[in-house]
Amino acid sequence: MHMTMKTQKKLSYALLVLPALVVYLAVVAFPTIFSVILSLTNYNGGLIFGNPDIEVVGFTSYRWMFTEPTRSFYTSLRNNLLIVGVSVFGQIPLGFILAYILNQKLIKRGRGFFQSMIFLPYVISPIIIGVLFNAMIINPRSLYWEVARFFNPDIQFTLHSNPMLPVLFVILWMFTGFYMIIFLAHMQRIDPAILEAARIDGANEPRVLRHIVLPAMTSEIVTCAILAISGSLKTFDLIYAMTNGGPAGQTRVLSLFMYLSAFSGAPNYPLANAISTVMVIISIILIVVVRWAAKLFDRHGGYGK
């Protein structure tokens, strides 16, 4: 049988795409859809298929999640949004500025060293960082508090006033290097002749940044924002190791709330599945908002390429 070139091309594309598609369907799409289904049932462990005791109970778990007396969902959501805020409005601008400083060679010596130091936290396991910062900042007998007490013996431990602050600081410190590397790689691709021409025409550094560098980086900024948002909603390991969501659940995030609902004390799988479904929905909404904002900005003559 003879295949036309077009058919051969289509077939080979299809076969090349198929493995990725199968993997995607198996490990992303199917669990997501199945999780939504389980969130509407009373399934609470044991056999899933062929268990006559599983019943569809509608939105019971969702109602409980939104109305339960300790308001864990809202605390977790607030913390996730704080992390999104620190990621989008902290890590990305800071990463951009650091990349710009390094790219423009504003630091004359030790550029490679600074680049490595800023990126280093990203390659360390979040579990190690969590344990490290627990010992360094959170623990009342930590180095930080011992030094603070040395200078001011009356200083009181203040974790209880805002438990999320140390977590947000660590998140800012840990991931800024990642965005810096992305921005730096793309900044290095901007034609130096264009920058030089602008400077010859009398543009100062802020004008070069505003009118040349930023417009050239729009798509990278949007990509980083999407990565930051999705990463923020998935935050788990660092907080698990650093505070385990405590004290009093004040540093809990949605993924940890989901985990604790599923695996702590009496398991509540329907609730855990309901939380994960809401996480997916929030994630999709935030990413759509970011893309919409980027398009809107583009349309108004913003940083579009």
Partner 1 sequence: MKKLLSVLLAAVMVATLLAGCDSDSNGGTSGGTTGGSTGGSDDPVAITEVVELRVLNYYDMSAAGALEEQSVIWEAFEAANPNIKIIREDEFEESFHDSVNAYAAAGALPDVMYAWPSGRSTTLHSQGLLKDLTPLINRDGLASKYIALATDPSQQIAGYQGIIPQGVTATNMFIANLEVLNAVGLTPATTYSEMVAQVPVLRDAGYDTVIMPNMASWVMQSCLYSLIVGRFMGDGWHERVLNGETNFTDPAFIASLAFVQQMYEDGVIPASSLAIDYGEGPGLFATNTGAYYIDGDWRVGAFLTDSTTGEALISPDRQDNFVIGVFPEIDLPGVAIPGRTNSAVLGTGWGINANLADGSPELEAAWTLVKWLVGLEVQTFRLRTGGISTPSIVGIDYGALPLEPLQVSLAGLGAKYDVATVVVDGAFASTVYEPLNEQLQALGLGITTPEAVAEIIQAAFEAWQATQ
Interacting residues toward partner 1 by CB under 8 A: 5, 8-9, 11-12, 15-16, 18-19, 22-23, 26, 45-47, 64, 68-70, 134, 138-141, 153, 157, 159-160, 163, 244, 246-250, 262-267, 269
- Tell me the closest approach of the beta carbon of residue 134 to partner 1, in angstroms: 8
Q: Which is nearer to partner 1, 11 or 143 (CB)?
A: 11
CB of 207 to partner 1, least distance (A): 48
Residue 182 or 272: the one with the smaller Cβ distance to partner 1 is 272
Phi, psi of 57 (to 5 degrees): -115, 15
- CB of 37 or CB of 194, closer to partner 1: 37
How many angstroms separate the first and last alpha carbons of the chain? 48
Q: Tell me the β-bridge partners of 41.
A: 56
Q: Which residues contact 219 (CB under 8 A, 6 or more apart)?
A: 305
**Comparison of 108 and 141: residue with beta carbon closer to partner 1:** 141
Question: CA separation (Å) from 49 to 29, 34, 271?
Answer: 19, 12, 19
Nearer to partner 1, 49 or 206 (CB): 49
Q: How far is the CB of 146 from partner 1 (least distance, A)?
A: 12
User: In the complex with partner 1, which residue's Cβ is closer, 71 or 291?
Assistant: 71
Q: Cβ 137 to partner 1, closest distance in Å? A: 9
Comparison of 14 and 106: residue with beta carbon closer to partner 1? 14
Instruction: Name the minimum Å distance from CB 161 to partner 1.
Output: 8
In whole angstroms, the minimum distance from the beta carbon of 198 to partner 1 comes to 45
To partner 1, the closest distance from the beta carbon of 139 in angstroms equals 6
Q: For tokens 């990349």, what's the residue? A: 99
Nearer to partner 1, 188 or 264 (CB): 264
- DSSP states of 51-81: -TT--B-TTHHHHHHHH-TT-HHHHHHHHHH
- Least separation, in Å, of the C-beta of 35 and partner 1? 14
Token code pair at residue 228: 């930051």
Looking up tokens 């778990």 gives: 61
